[in-house]
């Protein structure tokens, strides 16, 4: 029996629309990362980008469990001396709610050129509107 390897002509990309309202951050991020990698498809090939495009709306209303709103902080460094700073997830949710989900998914992707190409297929919006109606996205409900 031979191992199947997908070819670029075999890849059929789909646009999926996810409503993040009331969804838990980590659970949603793992399922979105799986779809971006293409692991949900039978033609999954580790060295190729076989995943689908994902549009996430209502990122402002994503749920955080436990004490994460008070305790969780994101680290950033400007690469200048003394340029380190931390931002609480609560502050980030108020100012840029789409970045919270984007960082969670980015941390679950491969840290390679392929991972950077995969993360470009993720579109996150704070509200219910998105500019991708022309792609005819299919509503997708991640499992709980």
Alpha helices in the chain (DSSP H): 25-37, 68-71, 89-95, 97-106, 113-119
Average pLDDT of the residues in 104-110: 96
The rounded Cα 38 to chain-centroid distance in angstroms is: 13
Measured distance CA(48)–CA(27) in Å, rounded: 24
Measured distance CA(5)–CA(113) in Å, rounded: 19
In the block, tokens 């980015």 appear at: 106
Show the domains of the chain with their CATH numbers: 14-65+72-139 (3.90.1180.10)
pLDDT tens-digit map of 4-36: 899 999 999 999 999 999 999 999 999 999 999
Average pLDDT of the residues in 103-127: 96
């Amino acid at each position: 029996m031979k191992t199947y390897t997908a070819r670029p002509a075999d890849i059929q990309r789909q646009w999926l629309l996810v409503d993040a309202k009331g969804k838990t951050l980590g659970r949603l991020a793992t399922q979105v990362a799986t779809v971006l990698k293409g692991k949900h498809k039978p033609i999954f090939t580790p060295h190729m980008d076989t995943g689908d495009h994902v549009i996430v709306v209502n990122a402002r209303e994503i749920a955080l469990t436990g004490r994460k709103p008070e305790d969780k902080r994101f680290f950033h460094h400007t690469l200048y001396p003394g340029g380190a700073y931390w931002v609480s997830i609560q502050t980030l949710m108020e100012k840029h709610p789409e970045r919270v989900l984007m960082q969670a998914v980015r941390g679950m992707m491969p840290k390679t050129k392929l991972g950077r190409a995969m993360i470009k297929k993720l579109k996150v919006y704070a509200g219910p509107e998105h500019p991708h109606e022309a792609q005819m996205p299919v509503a997708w409900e991640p499992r709980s």
